[in-house]
């Protein structure tokens, strides 16, 4: 079989999307790869910057790697992310059943925004920080387009894309609580938790109700939470940003 350049480019785009949007291989049903963190019977699940430094690194096809490193930032330990025309992430497989989904707390600090970025534009859709959550669900409800994307992801990586992916992001100009549907698949939705430059160079703490956010974003109840990731990307705008990630808690 002869593959044309345009076909290979299309596959590259779809695979990048699948990895970005849900990270093929999160450890959903049937997966045995990697360590899966579970919510204990009592108490919550906590990931420190040191924990995140040990998460699995995911490099997107054809993209430069964002540099992640532990840093003593001010009076606290943090995981520093330097994106210079790059896009990659660190991820952790989870298994938190839908009935146990509760609150999530996370914190970050951003040094600078990306002047040309626009999360609603596929050609400029960068964000200095992202928290990415991957959920399992009934893939029989996929559209034909999403089924094709999931099948292609499984053929190329060995596992299908997640049923749904919710991202918490920092936007240049979209209002806080705006939900942006990904232009290539509606199974990826971006929730703006911070907007504009007012809170740059400040630690920002967020508390989210995962079930309520998922239901508002997707219009349905969530399934099992199967993964969490952090990502800083500046590949589309060919620019540079620096950010720090603090603790992540699931209660």
Which CATH number is associated with domain 34-141+162-250? 2.60.120
pLDDT the model gives residue 86:
95
pLDDT the model gives residue 42:
86
pTM: 0.88
CA dist 60 and 175 (Å) reads 28
Model confidence pLDDT, tens digit, residues 32-82: 346 899 999 888 999 999 999 999 998 887 889 999 999 999 889 999 999
- Cβ-based neighbours of 74, under 8 Å, separated by 6 or more: none
- Do the beta carbons of residue 80 and residue 70 sit within 8 Å? yes
Which of 17-31, 186-200, 229-243 is predicted least confidently? 17-31
| Average pLDDT of the chain, as a whole number | 87
| Alpha-carbon 74 to chain mean position | 26
Average pLDDT over residues 234-249: 96
More confident residue, 87 or 34: 87
Model confidence pLDDT, tens digit, residues 133-184: 999 999 899 999 999 888 887 887 777 889 999 999 999 999 999 999 988 8
- Cβ-based neighbours of 219, under 8 Å, separated by 6 or more: none
Selection from 209, 208, 223 nearest residue 163 by Cα: 223
């Amino acid at each position: 079989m002869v593959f044309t350049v345009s076909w290979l480019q299309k596959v590259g785009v779809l695979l990048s999307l699948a990895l970005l949007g849900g990270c093929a291989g999160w450890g959903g049903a049937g997966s045995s790869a990697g360590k899966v963190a579970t919510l204990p019977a009592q108490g919550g699940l906590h990931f420190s910057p040191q924990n995140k430094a040990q998460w699995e690194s995911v490099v997107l096809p054809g993209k430069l790697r964002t540099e992640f490193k532990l840093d003593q930032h001010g009076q606290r330990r943090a995981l520093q992310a330097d994106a210079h025309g790059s896009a990659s992430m660190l991820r952790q497989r989870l298994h938190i059943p839908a009935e146990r989904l509760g609150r999530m707390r996370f914190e970050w600090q951003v040094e600078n925004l990306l002047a040309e970025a626009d999360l609603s534009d596929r050609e400029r859709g960068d964000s200095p920080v992202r928290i990415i959550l991957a959920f399992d669900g009934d893939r029989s409800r996929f559209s034909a387009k999403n089924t094709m994307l999931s099948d292609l992801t499984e053929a190329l990586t060995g596992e299908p894309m997640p049923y749904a992916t919710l991202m918490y992001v920092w936007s240049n100009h979209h209002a806080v609580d705006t939900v942006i549907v990904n232009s290539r698949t509606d199974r990826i939705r971006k929730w703006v938790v911070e907007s504009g430059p007012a809170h740059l160079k400040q630690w920002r703490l967020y508390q989210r109700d995962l079930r309520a956010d998922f239901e508002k974003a997707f219009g349905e109840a969530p399934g099992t939470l199967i993964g969490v990731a952090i990502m800083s990307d500046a590949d589309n705008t060919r620019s540079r940003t620096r950010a720090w990630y603090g603790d992540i808690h699931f209660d």
